[in-house]
Structure 1
Amino acid sequence: MHTVAAGTLAYDHSDAGTRDNAVADIDVFRSLLERSGLCLASLDLRLRVVEANDDFVAQFGHSRETLRGRSFYELLHPGVHGPMRRQFERLLDGRRHRFVEHLAGVGPRDAVFTGDITGIAVHAPSGELALIVVVVNPEKNDDANAVVVDRNRILTELDARILEGIATGESTVRLASRLFLSRQGVEYHVGTMLKKLKAPNRAALVSRAYSLGVLSVASWPPKVSPDYVK
């Protein structure tokens, strides 16, 4: 028996009683759509928003009318598109019934928020995949720490190289030598990035960069996503 769960959202996808379970999938989704505390939406098989509850609408800063029919990727920072596509592809081709992935979404006033997303495959009474339910669990950050960035480009090429060096543990002296800068020049670029990502120090800068998808979690040495470089 395979059970898919996201908080209180649980679906049984065992072979026995597939039709009954599929109907239950749809019914459970409908009953949870407006439940307080769940940031929830349904997507069609082209990953366009079909329905969204009040929490989801508020989190992403759109009206229901402007959300309906919009590609889900338009609500995400480009830096997380790659891993998100891979997860959705596994749902769509039947390799998985559920996934949990890191999320960097774009909310009101272009403020980037981070958190987790659960994607769940929901089947029609015929047993065919009917829609994808997404449950977003944003991290609880106060507005003062919200990062407001351009959706596509927030770093210069030099910023990106310095951030990659910091993430590998390079010193200011080493960075200055390798990038043909003065120590003051390196510190200037580091200070600019600290302000942009609202990080108090270098360790927090690297952590915030990973959480936003600026630094890819799938590469070593660390690499800044081209989507963030001007």
Structure 2
Amino acid sequence: MRTTEGCGPVPGSRPDAAVIWRNRALRLMDHVPLPIAVCQFGGRILIVNRAMAAEFGLLPGQLRNRRILEFFTLGDNTTLQTLTEAVRLHRRSQYPAPVSWTPVDGRERHGEMTVALVSDTPEQTPSLLLSLRAAEPRGEAPPPAPRAEVSPVEARILAAAARGDTTAQIAREIGVTTDGVNYHLARLTRRWRVPNRTALVARAYATGVLAPDAWPPRPARSSS
């Protein structure tokens, strides 16, 4: 792709195919309900998806360039040693790491962070692809998810928001005005006491309003 110094791509030039597919992959990751992050090997955060940022009541951009261990505490002292040894031996595999963290509700949680070492070649210092799964307290049954009452229109709006649609796109799909979309989103935000649309989508998955294993996102219940 031809560029002019300091001016970006030359008008009319075609973007590199790798850049196009990278951007598509990033958009897809952003709408996966599983919390995901990509970090440098030293721990500096490069990318997080919405679900990871919503754990802390933040937007994805607010986590970039910060250290992942600002947000998570390792449950043992062997994880970093294991990863360092894997890099030395040019291994590219996945490694589970027990972690704890304090999400936006202020109650400490525990779970497992799966760490995958990824790089284009074995000789390169790898990046860390992290995925987070929360654990239930030992010896206790999982608490029932809080019941979320939404109207069919609200459920469809939440599904469209989870796809990353703009307010105008949601309005066209649902058949309401943009003010109507904003009204429903604002009412849900107040009802669920969340700070933004990102957290709203995360709450919709957590309370079962949206089907957790469906893409594109859709309401979990036929009545929604």
Global fold match (TM > 0.5): no
Relative to its length, the structure with more helix (as a share) is 1
TM-score (norm 2): 0.44
TM-score (norm 1): 0.43
| Greater RCO, 1 or 2 (C-alpha within 8 Å, sep 6+) | 1
Relative to its length, the structure with more strand (as a share) is 1
